[in-house]
Amino acid sequence: MPTPEDITRQMHFDMETKKHLQAQGDVEMTWHTVEYHFLAERRECLDDVARTGRMLGFGHSDIKEAQNPQGARYWYFDLLSETNTHLAELAR
């Protein structure tokens, strides 16, 4: 469960995102694909996140494998959501 500090930090991030979108001429009612990035040391963790995301109505990319500069393997993927850019929708 997120702490009050986590929520405050995320709201500040969302507000900064919103400012940058507005500076680029964003129209709030235009639909956008929003990507939520995930990575893990074990693929099974991402399988669980993807399954839960599907149940909540999110799309997702394929889970892919990569290697960091030190040679350790990891897996990554994105949950995908179609949303407008009202601040409340960005914070979903």
| Dist. CA 68–CA 19, nearest whole Å | 32
- The per-residue pLDDT for range 74-87, each reduced to its tens digit, is 999 999 988 887 77
Quick one: pLDDT at residue 45?
A: 94
Q: Is residue 88 predicted with pLDDT exceeding 80?
A: no
Domain map (residue ranges) of the chain = 4-90
In DSSP terms, 59 is beta-bridged to 80
Maximum average pLDDT range among 11-25, 33-47, 74-88: 33-47
Quick one: pLDDT at residue 7?
A: 86
3-state secondary structure of 2: coil
> What is the pTM (predicted TM-score) of this model?
0.66
Q: How far is CA 20 from CA 38, 81, 92, in A?
A: 23, 19, 18
Q: Which amino acid is at 8?
A: T
Are 1 and 56 in contact by the 8 Å Cβ rule? The answer is no
User: How many C-beta neighbours within 10 Å does residue 32 have?
Assistant: 15
Quick one: pLDDT at residue 90?
A: 64
Note the CATH number of domain 4-90.
Answer: 3.30.70.970
